[in-house]
Chain A
Amino acid sequence: GAGVSQSPSNKVTEKGKDVELRCDPISGHTALYWYRQSLGQGLEFLIYFQGNSAPDKSGLPSDRFSAERTGGSVSTLTIQRTQQEDSAVYLCASSKNGYGYTFGSGTRLTIV
């Protein structure tokens, strides 16, 4: 597509439930990145994909977080047994070989 598409744009879920966030990168972009941004804060790196493999998962905060990418395209970020501290905006970006990231509009996740 023309840009990076993320869904849903907003998600409110009860503490303890699982959530899935989706990112559809720009066609032909081999690299895909997940970040999260808490209110008024900078961006925290979560995970990076090159093709379908994830060379760097170092930013995932706990084993409740996982991500996958299939067909070198769509990626899903899954958070199991959500906690209130997981509330944040989750941002996805894609790039062609690391030059010039393009970000999606994000998913605002609220845990109640």
Chain B
Amino acid sequence: GIQVEQSPPDLILQEGANSTLRCNFSDSVNNLQWFHQNPWGQLINLFYIPSGTKQNGRLSATTVATERYSLLYISSSQTTDSGVYFCAVESAGNTGKLIFGQGTTLQVKP
């Protein structure tokens, strides 16, 4: 099945810094989503982005489907950005399910 690799596994930032999280995937996809899991365990959908670029406030994401990677940018980080960021993909075989990467754990220090 499709493999999803996220990097870095852990990231510590000072408040106000910018960061880039990466997601590599091993096969063509027709669905890619980024999620944030807060310290209380709630998963929030950030982006549905199988290709192209989207922005939402301080967050933006870019997926280059032909090169099988996606990037999540966090600008001017805040302590509330802390948590785990997951990339999840559905292979182009349209299996109907998302396969999740292992996540990037982000800690933003005040």
Contacts and interface: CB of A to CB of B under 8 A. Distances in A.
A19 B90 CA distance: 30
B96 A100 contact: no
Interface in B80-99: 86, 88, 90, 95-99
Nearest to B45: A100
A43 B48 CA distance: 18
A12 B33 CA distance: 32
A56 interface: yes
Nearest to B105: A40
What's the interface size class on B, roughly?
20 to 34
B21 to A, nearest CB: 14
A21 interface: no
Nearest to B33: A101
A101 B96 contact: no
Interface in B10-33: 31, 33
A105 B41 contact: yes
B77 to A, nearest CB: 22
12 contacts: A42-B100, A42-B101, A42-B102, A42-B103, A45-B99, A91-B43, A98-B31, A99-B31, A101-B35, A101-B88, A102-B45, A103-B45
Interface of B: 31, 33, 35, 41-45, 48, 86, 88, 90, 95-103
Top 5 closest pairs, chain A to chain B, by CB: A103-B43, A43-B100, A42-B102, A100-B48, A48-B97
Given A56-B95, A56-B96, 4 more contacts: A41-B102, A42-B100, A42-B102, A43-B88
